[in-house]
Structure formats: C-alpha cells, structure tokens
Structure 1
Amino acid sequence: MELNTNFVDVNTIKSNPVKSYENINTSSLEDDQLRKVTDDFEAFFLQQLLDISLKDTNLAGEGSGSDIVKGMYTEAISSQSTGTVGISDLLYNFLTERNK
C-alpha cells in the first residue's frame, strides 16, 4: 500500500512556529524581536522551496520513511541557512523604515 502525499498534514501546519507570527503588529516590536520574526519567515520560505524542489526525488531512499527524512533534512538546511539568502534583511529593512 502506497502513502498518499497529496493531503496536507494539519498537525504540521498547526505546529509551525511561523503561524504564531501571523497577526503581530511590527511597530511595537523591538529590533531583536523583529529580526527573529524576519529570520523565521526566511527559514519558513526556504523550507517551502526545498520541500517543493525535493518532492519527487529519492534523496532519502524510497518508502514510507523517506518523506520524514526529507522533511527533517529540509528543516535542518533551512534553519541553518537563515539570514544568508537576503530575504530576512529585505523584510527587516522594509519594516524598520515603515515604522519610523
């Protein structure tokens, strides 16, 4: 029996740390808090790109555990790459300029 990966795992969406920043008013955030929010967004964005690009590969082998390994891999890469792509800096600069 093959797993159907077309459905979205609701538990993964609910536990995503980026969702907790959905309704934050950035004008009241301190600089370090704003930097964390923008870094978290960049990590989330990178993980989405990696998940999509590695979806049809057999990087982690085949079978039911391969999706879990790919997810762990993309999460580790995206969290370690935060702040290196430039999205975080662009958002941070935009939001700090907007709040002045």
Structure 2
Amino acid sequence: MPEYKTYEQKMRFYKSSEWKSLRLQALERDNYECQECKRQGEVYTDQHDPDKHKRLDVDHIKEIEDYPDLALELDNLQVLCVWHHNEKHNRFSSKPPKWDDEKW
C-alpha cells in the first residue's frame, strides 16, 4: 500500500491519471457544487468567483496520510469550494486582527 506522508509522495499521487479521473468523477457526481455550501443551504459552483483560477477542490473526507487505502475511493471524496477546503484544513491565518476595537 503506498504512503502519502511526504510532499513528493502526495504530488506524485495528485498528478496521477488515476487521481485525475477519479477527481472528475467526484465533480460530476456532486454536480460541480461545494457540498459544504450545500449543507448550509447555499449554492457554490465553479461559475462563482471569476477572478479565481481554481474554484472547487475535491477533498478526501478521510485524509490520505491516515487512510491511504481510501485515497482512490469515490465514497471518500467530496467537492468543496476553495474557501471551505482551506477552512477544513485550518489554512487561514490565526493572527489576531490588526485593530482591536475592544481597547478603545
């Protein structure tokens, strides 16, 4: 079973033809809509944010680092907008706001 612990291993996986094919299947299955937006009663598709290069990501629900056997399982994938995907992985800065109005 392959491992996906290093950056190089992950990049090799994400550039593979198997992943690209499965990614397209997930996008089609989820109707090119962010599933988290949908759960919140909103609709976000690849037609939103015209300034963005890539608007939708295909996310592994169970991460491939921890569950490599699920890396190519369609049932382990969901389509997320870039914002929700970043939120899921805590990629937003945790810096405090520049201004703290509470001190005024």
Both structures adopt the same fold (TM-score exceeding 0.5): no
Q: Which has the higher contact order (CA 8 A, sep 6+)?
A: 1
Task: Name the structure with the higher strand share.
Answer: 2
- TM-score, length-scaled by structure 1: 0.29
